[in-house]
Amino acid sequence: MSDAAMLDKTFEIIMRQMVETGQAPHYTEIAQQLGLSMEEGRQAVHKLFSAGVPGWLFPNTTLIASFAPFNNLPTQYRISVDGQQKWFGQ
């Protein structure tokens, strides 16, 4: 898979889980869905954020803290859909 295709797929996996569950996936989950080793999954996440995706990792980790327009940590910006609040905004 090309680097661009890998970045697109990594983005899609993260965004889909954020929308479905309100929580960002761990890099091991991303690796599994991409059919990669855990280390390759970790690298895929770092490459995605290094490419300029609006968001950030929790300092000194590979844990997704924010992935626009969502935040993985609670903020004062609560997002509700159909009366269900499981998301936080940046």
> How does DSSP classify residue 75?
-
Greatest distance between any 2 Cα atoms in the chain: 40
CATH classification of the domain holding 41: 1.10.10
Q: What is the pLDDT of residue 32?
A: 97
Q: What is the pLDDT of residue 64?
A: 97
What is the number of structural domains in the chain?
Answer: 1
Banded pLDDT at 1 (limits 50, 70, 90): confident
The predicted-structure confidence for 20-60, as pLDDT tens digits, reads as follows: 999 999 999 999 999 999 999 999 999 999 999 999 999 99
Range of the domain at 38: 3-89
Kindly state the percentage of the chain with pLDDT values over 90. Answer: 88
Q: What is the pLDDT of residue 49?
A: 95
Q: Which amino acid is at 4?
A: A
Predicted TM-score (pTM) of this structure:
0.91
Q: Tokens 């697109």 belong to which residue?
A: 8
Distance (Å, rounded) from C-alpha 74 to C-alpha 83?
18
